[in-house]
Chains A and B, each alone.
Chain A
Amino acid sequence: MKKNTHPLISFTPETHQHAVDGGLAAIQGMVRACMQCGTCTASCPNAFAMDLAPRQMWRLLLFGLQQEVLESRTFWLCSSCYSCTLRCPRGLPLTAAMAALKRLAGAEGDHANRKKALFYQEFMRNVEQNGRVQEMGFMCHYFLAMRDPLLPLEYTPLGLKLLGKGKLHLGGSAQRGRLGPLFAKVRSMEGAS
């Protein structure tokens, strides 16, 4: 099969971005031994909501059809339950491949893909700044980043419940900045690799 090698593209020079490791070729390598048995699809609790069944998506991926794969919502619907990874008769790291596709889509995908990646990126930005994630701060930044005025409303019932339980607080700041050096180092290593 033709090897599809893509240059390393890092999305924007914004400091919190991470480079993609190996692109499509690396993910193809993870599922190369797929024999199309469909056990992954049958095991997936979220397959009902996917446009491509996991088995079909691995096929398109191995054909090198990056655009078709990145246009699919399948990998965004992976909730990391590891059922497919556990059961795949070829022992393929399928959950890790789903996560790698999220990374690829966040870096090389279209606007819609990048927007979906924001949830994870905002979370990690919060971790980088605070050392321990601040649930409240993260949600506020996420709402701002999504620029969707209706989104906070979706979270209001839960927010009120947590508020009533004294669970919505900004948390300690003892570890703030603690992870700065590690994040910076990882970023420089990823840029260099």
Chain B
Amino acid sequence: MRYAYYPGCSLEASAEEYDISTRRVLNRLGVELSEIADWTCCGASAVEPVSRLLTLALPARNLALAERDAAGLDMLVPCSACYLNHLRVSRECAADRTLPGRINEALGAEGLSYAGKIRVRHLLDVLAKDIGPEAVAAQVSHRLEGLVVAPYYGCQALRPFALFDDPEHPRSMDALISALGATVLGWDMGGRCCGASLMATRRDVALVSVAAILEAAAGADVIVTVCPMCQMNLEAYQSQAHHANTISVLYLPQLLGLAFGLSDGQTLLDKNLAVTDALKSKLRACEAARI
């Protein structure tokens, strides 16, 4: 299995543990990634409030590069905002026949063109559908027995395009988490918004969402996320959300890596902002149980 890889800006900076754990875990699962050379920012959630054409042209630039340099491969994206930005280019082009011409006129500034052939895939989609829980289970050396995991999906991996999961009651992480030997927390907050960039512009409002999510996850040992924005909002503002007991928040591939026997160092666990000692000792117990 091979994919064109678009890490996105966050994964180069504040979410480097997401990038590294994604690469290591996919490598263990026999997946090859070819990173798109010279990829650029897709505009994140800031571009649409600024320019409609740029909203499509920025991700189309990366899609054009991937079509040129990695023809025939799907493009794998771990960040949900980047995923949606790239995904909607083909959707909007299908709905408005004048768009491909306009996008390509813009890309012409760099001698690029976008044909609309490439498929955009979220990391979670690839893990759940292309790789699947059996292949994941086959790599598990440290079963996470007794660990209760709250799967947090956020918004843009699920909505508005429901390509690989139920956007109202997402379940795609359940089988993956079970494959690690862990227990899935039954909750209905997995698809509730984390506040996204309101954390920067209206923190008081975003904190209400974060508090509600953290409270609902109280029965879990760890929340797992599949987006750097969700991760940051849930891990960095726990005290401001008046959440008394810190709850650990990991990226999904970090949890997979730990069950695959990767060390804390290999999964960059020390980069996370919320990892409790209780979680660490539970993980140690899982390790000890192996012998």
Interfacial residues, chain A to chain B (CB-CB below 8 A): 18, 21, 45-46, 48-49, 76-77, 79-83, 85-86, 95-96, 99-100, 102-103, 106, 116-117, 119-121, 123-124, 127, 130-135, 154, 157-158, 161-162, 165-167, 169, 171-172, 175, 178-179, 181-186, 189-190
Query: Given the interface contacts A77-B205, A120-B46, A185-B109, does A127 sit within 8 Å of B41 by beta carbon?
Result: yes
What residues of chain B lie closer than 8 Å to A18, measured between beta carbons? 50-51, 54
Is B193 a contact of A123 with CB atoms below 8 Å? no
Question: Which residue in chain A gives the minimum CB-CB distance to B111?
Answer: A181
Is B201 a contact of A76 with CB atoms below 8 Å? yes
Q: How many contacts between A and B, using CB within 8 angstroms?
A: 163
Is B50 a contact of A121 with CB atoms below 8 Å? yes
Is A133 a contact of B9 with CB atoms below 8 Å? yes
What residues of chain B lie closer than 8 Å to A135, measured between beta carbons? 9-10, 13-14
What residues of chain B lie closer than 8 Å to A117, measured between beta carbons? 49-50
Identify whether the interface residues of A are mostly helix, strand, loop, or mixed: helix
Q: Among residues 140 to 167 in chain B, which have CB atoms less than 8 Å away from a CB atom of chain A?
A: 155-156, 158-160, 162, 167
Query: Given the interface contacts A103-B52, A120-B50, A161-B273, does A182 sit within 8 Å of B13 by beta carbon?
Result: no
Q: Among residues 161 to 214 in chain B, which have CB atoms less than 8 Å away from a CB atom of chain A?
A: 162, 167-168, 192-193, 195-198, 200-206, 208-209
Query: Given the interface contacts A189-B102, A190-B53, does A182 sit within 8 Å of B110 by beta carbon?
Result: yes
CA distance A178 to B37 in the complex (A): 12
Query: Given the interface contacts A82-B156, A175-B38, A179-B40, does A103 sit within 8 Å of B13 by beta carbon?
Result: no
Is A183 a contact of B54 with CB atoms below 8 Å? yes
Given A81-B193, A135-B14, A179-B41, 18 more pairs with CB closer than 8 A: A45-B192, A46-B205, A48-B208, A79-B155, A80-B45, A80-B48, A81-B159, A82-B155, A82-B158, A121-B50, A124-B50, A132-B39, A135-B10, A167-B14, A182-B58, A182-B107, A185-B108, A189-B105
Query: What are 22 pairs between A and B in contact, CB < 8 Å?
Result: A80-B48, A80-B196, A85-B159, A103-B48, A103-B52, A116-B201, A123-B46, A124-B54, A127-B47, A132-B12, A135-B13, A162-B14, A166-B271, A167-B13, A167-B14, A167-B271, A178-B38, A179-B41, A182-B107, A186-B57, A189-B53, A189-B102
